[in-house]
Each structure stands twice: as structure tokens, then as C-alpha cells.
């Protein structure tokens, strides 16, 4: 009788458990009050947490998120023992800044919930997405004002509001006004400027974001013309390259060129500055000329002339360009210069220049001792801001050039010293020199050029592949492939104190081979990559395991297909397609999981080759990632994963696949032997099977006693 009572009690308990599970969806809020969901404010591109007010434990809730663009998303969760349900809104869904509306279903009931909202704020300033526009303008100073607009954006192109910005002009005579009476970016991330020019000529503009303490890489140029300038004749046409309010002259097609401002005296080995202008048949300057020209010398002495490279005129040139110190004649004599339009050889210009052997200290002489650069020094620098300093004649007017583009104008002090701090310089080579100019801006002499390189970032490694990836026998040949976007001057891997060189393959990656050490153990691989500019990058997050004798790496099981995950309360159930190895039978499967698709740090082995298993002890509302591999009778593990599937414990399976899986590269580094026993996992519904067995035994026992 005692056994009979115990078995009946077990059956009652089992029935109560099943009854509780079935009725959980109909449980109401403790007080009957409306339930509300909450979302934490965050920054664009970062995850945030969704949670509910208190509901009945075990209630199934659905978070309904409406993004600022109107798109709706749904995430499920199960209330924990305290009555709170959680879900994670990953960074994939938070790239759009703005207000996110949040609704909630409790056990499928929309009437219980109260709508709420949370905010995703714009991220950090993006130098590539933030722009100053328009980049080029032509303004008639007699009747027009210049307008510029800066748009501040983050990495996801969201407007950045509330930043203080300043417009910096290369001309100290400009008067800059802020439209809207403020220099703080508005809700659209914009600040608009209106400029009253104080002088004619080409003026460069840049933007300083005071809040972020950076100078935008985007620049703008404006050419100002006075009312007396011949470019603005009575007949005017629109310049298509600029806005509709920008005007230029009505000159015809280019007919010829003229060499202007040629020095009266030119000596051998003297660098000379000459201006070249384009004119039409009516001898009117063609301000919108945009052709490409080439310089030549007619005569037997052409080999002794150094001439400018082919040059394409642009809108800022307005039909005239000054070739600073671009002409040089190595021997005395008469040189017949010619400039020709490459697309129209009938349009050309000529000039005869007589070069003497005597000393000439005139306008374009280049004494080497009058201006000297003491900084920067040649080399490679990791900082993209440099100080340009040196000595020059006292009170001399100076222009600083970087890669032949004018950076700034400064004046030497009474002691002849000058100093200038650059804005943010781009990565790559730079050529800095300083020129002394006269009162009309013509270059008189220049300093020697200083060559240096800016490299703020090292080589960017996208992937390192080790083959074979799992444990190997001592002395096994191991191949290394490094996928990297840069061209390197040196690539090496250090293993157990030995250095191996990696060579670039025709496919674009770097590869090398080495033999595994003879002693068992784990060996770290230390990589060193040096770019062509001398910047070194290191990586030491890879290792190899030596000590698996008898493995057959050439006959690994195939990838496991058909992985499907189903979230439940505190666990996730996995099912997959059975794999029949063509060499050795599959004895069990290995489940990898973690909170990131690139860090599947947990691994468990199934007891058998069954194709259903569950992972318990998971935190509801947390997103986990799962992958599956097969293990054959010789311990070989299938290479790589078919896919990595994300799921929220207690919630739903997401539909976004990990990018690394799409490229077919994820998972190889995760396939390694377990060092301990399997985790506390098991086949799904195992407890129901046990209860069923107990129930069956009890029923049979009771029936047998009853009908005896």
C-alpha cells in the first residue's frame, strides 16, 4: 500500500506540473493594473535593454518596437520569478537616432499594456560623413554674399545636434555671420554661415567643431571678384558647376594662351614662377576654362629645361594659374616655351625666355639660406598634427605648402622666427616647404622640402587562419594565412622562439608554413606586421595545441546542417540534421555557444549521436549564439560551421545571421577538444520521459493489484 500511495502521489505531482505549464498563459497581472514596457536610452549603434513592469511570473510577453522610420520589430521574453521580463535590442537595430515607440503584449493581450518610448541619440562625430558645402563658389562682391553650410553626422549618418562650431577663413578680412543667430548645430545637425568678403581672390574655409575639438576634413573654396573685374562683363552666363546665383563671364572657347609675369632676368639653374592664362578669340579671359595643358620647349636645348607636369585647369583657377617655381633651365641660352591644350592643339601659346649664366638676385631667385625649416623632421609620425617652424628674414611674409598646396600664411617675427600648427593631416606622405612672398603674393624664395609620413593606424588584419585548426601531432606541418588589406614590408609569426616569414600570395593574402614543436603543450602564435610606412601591428590571440596522436585530419566529418534553435524558459532547445560520416561513424555532436558569434567560448558534448539537445541554465533576455559540429569515432571534429544561429533565452530566434558565417569563415577557430567533462545539459524533454516511465510503472502496478 505504501508503494501504491507513493506512485499515486508522483502522478498527482506530474499532473500538477503539466497543469501549471498549460495555464501559465492565462495568468493575469497581480493587481489588474496595466502593464508597461521600458527601454533604456542609448547611443546609435549600441545595444539597449527592454524590460517590463511586474507581471505574473511565467507570463509570455512580446515587446513591439517601432523604429523612427516606422519599421516594427518584435521580441519575446518570459517573466522571471520576480515577475519581470527582459529582452535585448541589439546594436543591429539601433543605428537610426530618434524616438523609439514601445508597446507590449502580455500572454497575447494588447489591452493590458501602456505605450512608452525611449531615445537613441546620435553617436560620435564622423569625419567622413560631416561636410561643409558647397565646396566651390564664385561670388561677385558688388552684389552677392557667400553662403556656406556645415552638416554634422555620426557614423550612421545621423544628424548631430547641439555642437558648437566655428568657420575658419584663410582671409582675415572676411566678416562671418551665423544664419539663425547661433553657431550651435540644429536638429538637422546644420549650422549655416553668411560671409561678407573683405577682399578679392581665392579664400579657403574650414570648420572647427569646438564640442568635439576637431577640424573637419571637408573644406570649401570661394573665389571673390570685384565689380571692376573684367570677368564680370555686361553679358553674363551661369556657371553650371556652382549654384544658380553664381555668375561668370560670357567668353567663348579658348583660342590661345599667354605666358604672364615672366621674370625679366632668368639665370641658369634658377627656379622660375610664371603665370599662364587662357583667352578666347576676342582676347577675353576664359574664366570657366577647364582644359588640360602640356608644356614643351622647341629647340635642341629642350633637354636642359625642367617644366611643369600636365595641368588641368579648374574653376578656382578662373582661367589663370600661377606655376610657382615650376620652370628651371640648366644651361644658358634661348628657350622657346610652348603651352598647348591637349584636346585642341590649335589652342596654344609661346614665349621666348633668355637664360644667362650670371648671378641674379631678382624676384625669383632661390637663395638657400634665407628660410630654413627646423620642424617637422623627416620620418614617420603617428600623430596627424605637426608644428611647422623655422627661421626666415625678419618680418617676412611667408606661405606654408603641403604637397604643393598652400596650407596657411604667416609672418616671421622681428627675430625672423615663425611657427604654425597644422590642422589634422591625412595619413600618407607629406612634403612641407615654406616660401617667402612679396607684397603681391609672388614667391621670392623657398626653404628646402621636408618629406615625412603620417600613419595613425597600423595594418588592419581581417582574419588569421590556422590549418589544421585542432590539436596536432608533434612535427605536423602547419599553414598560416593572414588576410590583411595593406601591403606590408614585413610579416612574421613567432612560434616557440622561432621566427617564420610570411610571404604575399598572388591571391592577396600573406602565408607561411612551420612544423609544430616536438613537445606536447599549447603554443602561442605571435604575429608582427610592418606596413610600407614602417608602422608595426602585433597580434597574439592565436595558439596551437600539440599532443593529439593518431588523429586523421584529412578525414574530418562534414559540416552539420539544418541547425534550428527554440528558446524556452532558462534554456534553448537545439535540433539538427543527422550526419553520416563517409569514413568513421559519428558518435556524438559538439555544441558551441556564447554571447557573441565571434566568441563561442562554451562547448558541450552530447551523450549519443541523437539530433536533439538542450542547453539549460541560460539567463532569460540574454542573446546567445549556437553552432554545432560532429565528432567521429576517432575523435575528429567537423571543420567549420554551416551557420551560427542566435536566440534570446526565454524569447525568440533572431533572423539576423552573423556576417562571418555568410563568408563561410566562422567557427574554425572554435573547433577544439573539451578539456573537462560535458556541461550539465541533456536531451530535450528528458524529464517528461522519466515522468512517463514512472507513471507507466505506477499505472501497471495499480492495475495489476486491482484486477488480481
Q: 133-174, pLDDT tens digit by residue? A: 888 888 877 667 888 999 999 988 999 998 988 888 877 678
- Tell me if 150 is assigned to some domain: yes
The residue that leads in pLDDT, 479 or 540, is: 479
- Tell me if 702 is assigned to some domain: no
Residues 483 and 583 in one domain: no
Answer yes or no: is pLDDT of 701 > 60.
no
Q: How far apart are CA 195 and CA 167, in angstroms?
A: 10
Look at residues 666, 673, 671, 638 and name the one whose alpha carbon lies nearest to residue 560: 638
Residues 343 and 391 in one domain: no
- Tell me if 691 is assigned to some domain: no
Would you place residue 190 in the very low, low, confident or very high pLDDT band (cuts 50, 70, 90)?
Answer: very high
CATH number at residue 110: 2.60.40.1930
- Which cell is 502 given? 610570411
What average pLDDT does the segment 231-245 reach? Answer: 34
Residue 669: per-residue pLDDT: 43
Residues 537 and 576 in one domain: no
Q: Which of 484, 514, 546 is the last residue of a domain?
A: 546
Residue 214: per-residue pLDDT: 83
Residues 437 and 503 in one domain: no
3 state SS of 363: coil
CATH number at residue 578: 2.60.40.10
Residue 97: per-residue pLDDT: 92
Residue 434: per-residue pLDDT: 92
Residues 172 and 55 in one domain: no
- Tell me if 76 is assigned to some domain: yes
Residues 483 and 572 in one domain: no
Answer yes or no: is pLDDT of 24 > 50.
no
Q: How far apart are CA 465 and CA 640, in angstroms?
A: 12
Helices (H) and strands (E) in the chain, counts: 3, 53
pLDDT tens digits along 506-539? 777 899 998 888 778 889 898 888 776 566 778 8
Is the Cβ–Cβ distance between 112 and 32 less than 8 Å? no
- Tell me if 13 is assigned to some domain: no
The residue that leads in pLDDT, 111 or 692, is: 111
CA distances from 167 to 192, 217, 243, 610 (A): 10, 13, 20, 69
Is the Cβ–Cβ distance between 257 and 348 less than 8 Å? yes
Residue 688: per-residue pLDDT: 40
Helix (H) / strand (E) element for 13: namely helix 2-23
DSSP string for residues in 389-424: EEE-STT-EEEEEETTEEEEEEE--TTSEEEEE--P
Would you place residue 433 in the very low, low, confident or very high pLDDT band (cuts 50, 70, 90)?
Answer: very high
What average pLDDT does the segment 92-114 reach? Answer: 81
Total domains, the chain? 6
Residue 237: per-residue pLDDT: 33
Is the Cβ–Cβ distance between 657 and 626 less than 8 Å? no
Share above pLDDT 70 across residues of the chain, in percent, rounded to a whole number:
78
Cis peptide before 674 (omega within 30 of 0): no
Look at residues 465, 469, 470 and name the one whose alpha carbon lies nearest to residue 481: 465
Residue 276: per-residue pLDDT: 93
Residues 288 and 206 in one domain: no
Q: How far apart are CA 220 and CA 197, in angstroms?
A: 14
Residues 327 and 427 in one domain: no
What average pLDDT does the segment 446-464 reach? Answer: 80
- Which cell is 538 given? 602585433
C-beta neighbour count of 446 within 10 angstroms: 22
Is the Cβ–Cβ distance between 376 and 407 less than 8 Å? no
pLDDT tens digits along 329-374? 888 888 999 999 998 888 999 999 988 875 433 334 334 447 888 8
Would you place residue 418 in the very low, low, confident or very high pLDDT band (cuts 50, 70, 90)?
Answer: very high
The residue that leads in pLDDT, 2 or 59, is: 59
Domain of 492, in residue numbers:
461-546
pLDDT tens digits along 635-663? 788 877 888 889 888 765 544 443 333 33
* Mean pLDDT of all residues belonging to the chain: 77
Residues 419 and 475 in one domain: no
Look at residues 114, 129, 64, 113 and name the one whose alpha carbon lies nearest to residue 93: 64
Least confident of 99-108, 455-464, 558-567, 683-692: 683-692
Q: Strands (DSSP E) along 173-212, which ranges? A: 175-179, 190-196, 201-209
Residue 253: per-residue pLDDT: 84
How do the residues of the chain divide into helix, strand and coil, expressed in percent and rounded to 5? 10, 45, 45
Q: How far apart are CA 110 and CA 36, in angstroms?
A: 11
pLDDT tens digits along 570-619? 888 999 998 876 567 888 999 999 888 887 888 888 888 888 888 888 88
Q: Which of 74, 100, 121 is the last residue of a domain?
A: 121
Query: What pTM was estimated for this model as a whole?
Result: 0.35
Out of 21-25, 288-292, 488-492, the most confident range is 288-292
Answer yes or no: is pLDDT of 222 > 60.
yes
Least confident of 24-28, 184-188, 200-204, 388-392: 24-28
Q: Which residues fall within 8 angstroms of residue 566, CB to CB, at 6 or more apart?
A: 572, 573, 574, 575, 647, 653
The residue that leads in pLDDT, 625 or 456, is: 625
What phi-psi label fits residue 650: left (phi over 0), alpha (psi between -120 and 50 degrees) or beta?
left
The residue that leads in pLDDT, 190 or 252, is: 190
Least confident of 107-111, 148-152, 426-430: 107-111
Residues 430 and 532 in one domain: no
Residues 673 and 579 in one domain: yes
Residue 608: per-residue pLDDT: 85
- Tell me if 365 is assigned to some domain: no
**Dihedral sign for Cα atoms in the order 303, 307, 313, 314:** positive
Residues 157 and 140 in one domain: yes
- Tell me if 186 is assigned to some domain: yes
Q: Which of 102, 121, 140 is the last residue of a domain?
A: 121
What average pLDDT does the segment 313-317 reach? Answer: 73
- Tell me if 698 is assigned to some domain: no
Answer yes or no: is pLDDT of 23 > 90.
no
pLDDT tens digits along 269-308? 788 889 999 998 888 888 888 899 999 998 777 878 889 8
Amino acid at each position: 500500500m505504501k508503494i501504491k500511495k507513493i506512485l499515486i502521489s508522483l502522478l498527482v505531482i506530474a499532473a500538477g506540473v503539466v497543469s501549471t505549464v498549460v495555464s501559465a498563459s492565462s495568468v493575469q497581472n497581480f493587481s489588474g493594473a496595466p502593464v508597461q514596457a521600458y527601454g533604456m536610452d542609448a547611443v546609435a549603434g549600441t545595444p539597449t535593454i527592454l524590460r517590463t513592469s511586474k507581471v505574473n511570473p511565467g507570463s509570455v510577453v512580446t515587446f513591439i518596437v517601432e523604429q523612427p522610420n516606422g519599421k516594427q520589430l518584435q521580441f519575446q521574453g518570459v517573466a522571471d520569478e520576480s515577475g519581470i521580463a527582459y529582452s535585448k535590442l541589439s546594436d543591429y537595430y539601433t543605428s537610426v537616432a530618434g524616438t523609439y515607440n514601445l508597446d507590449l503584449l502580455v500572454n497575447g493581450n494588447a489591452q493590458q499594456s501602456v505605450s512608452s518610448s525611449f531615445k537613441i541619440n546620435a553617436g560620435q562625430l564622423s569625419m567622413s560623413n560631416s561636410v561643409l558645402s558647397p565646396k566651390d563658389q564664385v561670388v561677385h562682391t558688388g552684389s552677392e554674399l557667400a553662403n556656406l553650410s556645415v552638416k554634422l553626422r555620426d557614423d550612421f549618418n545621423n544628424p548631430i545636434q547641439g555642437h558648437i562650431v566655428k568657420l575658419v577663413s584663410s582671409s582675415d578680412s572676411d566678416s562671418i555671420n551665423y544664419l539663425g543667430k547661433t553657431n550651435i548645430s540644429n536638429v538637422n545637425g546644420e549650422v549655416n554661415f553668411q560671409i561678407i568678403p573683405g577682399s578679392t581672390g581665392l579664400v579657403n574655409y574650414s570648420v572647427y567643431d569646438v564640442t568635439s575639438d576637431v577640424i573637419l576634413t571637408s573644406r570649401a573654396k570661394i573665389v571673390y571678384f570685384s565689380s571692376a573685374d573684367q570677368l564680370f562683363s555686361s553679358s553674363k552666363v551661369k556657371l553650371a558647376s556652382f549654384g544658380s546665383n553664381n555668375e561668370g563671364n560670357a567668353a567663348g572657347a579658348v583660342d590661345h594662351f599667354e605666358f604672364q609675369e615672366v621674370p625679366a632676368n632668368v639665370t641658369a639653374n634658377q627656379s622660375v614662377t610664371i603665370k599662364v592664362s587662357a583667352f578666347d578669340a576676342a582676347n577675353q579671359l576664359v574664366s570657366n576654362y577647364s582644359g588640360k595643358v602640356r608644356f614643351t620647349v622647341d629647340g635642341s636645348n629642350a633637354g636642359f629645361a625642367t617644366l611643369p607636369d600636365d595641368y588641368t585647369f579648374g574653376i578656382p583657377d578662373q582661367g589663370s594659374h600661377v606655376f610657382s617655381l615650376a620652370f628651371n633651365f640648366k644651361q644658358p641660352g634661348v628657350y622657346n616655351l610652348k603651352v598647348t591644350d591637349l584636346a585642341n592643339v590649335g589652342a596654344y601659346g609661346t614665349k621666348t625666355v633668355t637664360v644667362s649664366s650670371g648671378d641674379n638676385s631678382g624676384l625669383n631667385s632661390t637663395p638657400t639660406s634665407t628660410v630654413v625649416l627646423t620642424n617637422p623632421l623627416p620620418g614617420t609620425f603617428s600623430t596627424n598634427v605637426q608644428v611647422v617652424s623655422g627661421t626666415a628674414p625678419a618680418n617676412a611674409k611667408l606661405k606654408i605648402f603641403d604637397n604643393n598646396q598652400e596650407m596657411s600664411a604667416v609672418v616671421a617675427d622681428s627675430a625672423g622666427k615663425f611657427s604654425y600648427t597644422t590642422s589634422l593631416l591625412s595619413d600618407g606622405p607629406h612634403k612641407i616647404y615654406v616660401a617667402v612672398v612679396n607684397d603681391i603674393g609672388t614667391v621670392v624664395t623657398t626653404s628646402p622640402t621636408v618629406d615625412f609620413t603620417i600613419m595613425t593606424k597600423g595594418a588592419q588584419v581581417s582574419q588569421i587562419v590556422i590549418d589544421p585548426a585542432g590539436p596536432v601531432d608533434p612535427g605536423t606541418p602547419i599553414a598560416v594565412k593572414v588576410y590583411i588589406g595593406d601591403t606590408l614590408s614585413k610579416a612574421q609569426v613567432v612560434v616557440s622562439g622561432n621566427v617564420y616569414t610570411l610571404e604575399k600570395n598572388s591571391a592577396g593574402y600573406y602565408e607561411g608554413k612551420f612544423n609544430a614543436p616536438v613537445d606536447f603543450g599549447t603554443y602561442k602564435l605571435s604575429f608582427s606586421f610592418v606596413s610600407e610606412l614602417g608602422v608595426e601591428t602585433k597580434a597574439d590571440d592565436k595558439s596551437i595545441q600539440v599532443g593529439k596522436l593518431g588523429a586523421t585530419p584529412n578525414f574530418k566529418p562534414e559540416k552539420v546542417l539544418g541547425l534550428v534553435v527554440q528558446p524556452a524558459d532558462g534554456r534553448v532547445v537545439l535540433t539538427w540534421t543527422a550526419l553520416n560520416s563517409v569514413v568513421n561513424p559519428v558518435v556524438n555532436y559538439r555544441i558551441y555557444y556564447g554571447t557573441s558569434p565571434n566568441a563561442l567560448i562554451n562547448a558541450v558534448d552530447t551523450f549519443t549521436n541523437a539530433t536533439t539537445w538542450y542547453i539549460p541554465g541560460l539567463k532569460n533576455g540574454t542573446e546567445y549564439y549556437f553552432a554545432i559540429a560532429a565528432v567521429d569515432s576517432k575523435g575528429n571534429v567537423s571543420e567549420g560551421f554551416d551557420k551560427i544561429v542566435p536566440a534570446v533565452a526565454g524569447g525568440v530566434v533572431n533572423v539576423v545571421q552573423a556576417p562571418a558565417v555568410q563568408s563561410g569563415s566562422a567557427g574554425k577557430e572554435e573547433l577544439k577538444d573539451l578539456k573537462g567533462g560535458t556541461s550539465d545539459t541533456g536531451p530535450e524533454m528528458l524529464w517528461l520521459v522519466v515522468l512517463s516511465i514512472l507513471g507507466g510503472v505506477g499505472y501497471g502496478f495499480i492495475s495489476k493489484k486491482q484486477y488480481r
